[in-house]
Amino acid sequence: ILNVEQSPQSLHVQEGDSTNFTCSFPSSNFYALHWYRWETAKSPEALFVMTLNGDEKKKGRISATLNTKEGYSYLYIKGSQPEDSATYLCARGANNLFFGTGTRLTVIP
């Protein structure tokens, strides 16, 4: 089992604050690191897939970095908005993905 750990488990931020979460994973036999956004009552939606050490990806106010040598990835949200409230999942693997339990973000207006 390739354990993927995410922290914090949950957090509340004020609208306009910037925030970040961590995904940790075993660094051996690395293929790819995925980030998904999962809103309540919906399905997970892909944010980023990263494969190379040092990868940085950005989509609007959300960005992610990857360090495969030390086994971690950060997800950053700049200027959080209420619509950013969701659970953010990371997963490691190729076809056979291993997911973390997610970070539940609540943005308070």
Partner 1 sequence: NAGVTQTPKFQVLKTGQSMTLQCAQDMNHNSMYWYRQDPGMGLRLIYYSASEGTTDKGEVPNGYNVSRLNKREFSLRLESAAPSQTSVYFCASSEARESYEQYFGPGTRLTVT
Can you give the binding site for partner 1, defined by CB under 8 A? Answer: 1, 4, 31-32, 34, 36, 42-46, 49, 51, 89, 91, 93-102
Alpha-helical segments (H) within the chain: none
Sequence letter at residue 90: C
Q: Are 73 and 64 in contact (CB under 8 A)?
A: yes
Q: Which of 69, 33, 25, 27 is nearest to 50 (CA)?
A: 33
Nearest approach in angstroms of CB 70 to partner 1 is 21
Nearest approach in angstroms of CB 57 to partner 1 is 11
Task: Report the alpha-carbon distance of residue 81 to residue 50 in Å, rounded.
Answer: 25
